[in-house]
């Protein structure tokens, strides 16, 4: 089961225990329903999925794509665990989560040493990825293909590491070349999150 199926399964089978990703089967997600997932386990999951994305699905492998792939993977596991009450609300836990992501992002771009650079970007991506992911779930993608995650495409391909405004979700803002690239990106993204 891939990333895409986590929330969809939770939505349709609310009374059953969600099935974890193949790469997360031995994790603390399989244990007590009240257990908090360790930050290092979430970050390790994000790093593994970033590498899978880059090796198999990325249109390019530049620094921006590496950063966005890690932000997406870490956002996803955070959101997944949050939906299942497996993250702590304590400030030290949150700080540890953000510090770990920043340390790995710093390897790609030294600006991630600064919280003032990281936090606005993470908050922006959290909103974008959540909206686009839920849009895909609600549209029954890939069966209907009625929803295009334009802002996620822009984050990965056009404006990596830049703040993207909510009103930048218009397909009319794309050139023909960008539209073609977006179609390829969306196909790769859907394949990636349904592994």
pLDDT at residue 184 in the model: 87
> pLDDT of 122-177, one tens digit each?
999 999 998 888 887 777 655 666 677 889 999 999 999 999 998 887 788 889 99
Integer CA distances (angstroms), 109 to 64, 67, 182, 188, in order = 9, 8, 25, 25
Alpha-carbon span 9 to 16, nearest angstrom: 9
Sign of the dihedral through C-alpha 66, 99, 10, 19: positive
Alpha-carbon span 87 to 90, nearest angstrom: 9
Instruction: Count Cβ neighbours within 10 Å for each residue of 141-166 and write b for 16 or more, e otherwise.
Output: beeeeebbbbbbbbbbbbebbeebee
Mean pLDDT score, 64-93: 92
Residue whose C-alpha is closest to residue 105's, from 69, 57, 158: 69
Q: Reply yes or no on whether the pLDDT at 18 is more than 70.
A: no
172 or 87, which is more confident?
A: 87
pLDDT at residue 33 in the model: 55
Query: What's the pLDDT band for 191 if we cut at 50, 70, 90?
Result: confident
How high does pLDDT run on average in the chain?
81
pLDDT at residue 59 in the model: 83
194 or 69, which is more confident?
A: 69
> pLDDT of 90-114, one tens digit each?
999 999 999 999 999 999 999 999 9
pLDDT at residue 71 in the model: 95
Alpha-carbon span 173 to 181, nearest angstrom: 13
Alpha-carbon span 27 to 33, nearest angstrom: 12
Give the whole-number percent of the chain exceeding pLDDT 70: 79
Decide if 83 contacts 10 (C-beta within 8 A): yes
Decide if 154 contacts 164 (C-beta within 8 A): yes
Decide if 41 contacts 20 (C-beta within 8 A): no
141 or 15, which is more confident?
A: 141
Alpha-carbon span 78 to 42, nearest angstrom: 7
Angle of helix 63-83 relative to helix 3-12, nearest 10 degrees? Answer: 20
Q: Reply yes or no on whether the pLDDT at 119 is more than 50.
A: yes
pLDDT at residue 10 in the model: 43
pLDDT at residue 5 in the model: 46
């Amino acid at each position: 089961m891939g990333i895409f199926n986590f929330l969809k399964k939770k939505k349709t089978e609310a009374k059953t225990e969600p099935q974890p990703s193949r790469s997360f089967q031995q994790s603390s997600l399989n244990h007590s329903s009240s257990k908090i997932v360790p930050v290092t386990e979430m970050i390790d999951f994000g790093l593994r999925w970033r590498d899978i994305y880059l090796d198999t699905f990325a249109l390019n492998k530049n620094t921006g794509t590496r950063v966005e792939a890690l932000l997406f993977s870490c956002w996803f596991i955070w959101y997944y665990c949050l939906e299942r009450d497996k993250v702590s609300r304590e400030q030290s836990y949150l700080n540890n989560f953000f510090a770990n992501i920043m340390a790995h992002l710093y390897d790609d771009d030294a600006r991630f040493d600064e919280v003032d650079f990281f936090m606005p970007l993470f908050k922006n991506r959290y909103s974008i990825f959540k909206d686009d992911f839920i849009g895909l779930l609600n549209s029954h993608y890939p069966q209907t293909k009625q929803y295009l995650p334009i802002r996620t495409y822009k984050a990965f391909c056009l404006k990596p590491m830049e703040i993207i405004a909510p009103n930048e979700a218009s397909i009319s803002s794309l050139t023909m070349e960008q539209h073609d690239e977006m179609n390829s990106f969306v196909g790769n993204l859907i394949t990636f999150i349904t592994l």
